[in-house]
Amino acid sequence: MKVLVIGANGQVGKHVIHKLTQSSHTPVAMVWDTKQIPQFEELGVETVLGDLEKDFKEAYYGVDGVIFAAGSGPHTGADKTILIDQEGAIKSIEYAKQFGLKRFIMLSSVRSDEPEKGPDAMKHYLYAKHRADEHLKQSGLNYTILRPGQLTNKPGTGKVALEEKLEQDGEIPREDVAETLVYLLSVPRAKQKSFDLISGSTQLEETLAY
The percent helix, strand, coil of the chain (3-state, each to 5) is 40, 25, 35
> Between vectors from CA 190 to CA 205 and to CA 32, what angle results, nearest 5°?
90
> Contacts for 129-137 with beta carbons within 8 Å, 24 or more apart?
129/85, 129/86, 131/86, 131/90, 132/85, 132/86, 132/89, 132/90, 132/93, 132/106, 132/108, 133/106, 133/108, 133/194, 135/89, 135/90, 135/93, 136/89, 136/93, 136/104, 136/106, 137/194
**Active site includes 61?**
no
Whether 178 contacts 15, CB under 8 Å: yes
Catalytic residue among 125, 127, 143, 183: 125
Residues labelled catalytic:
125
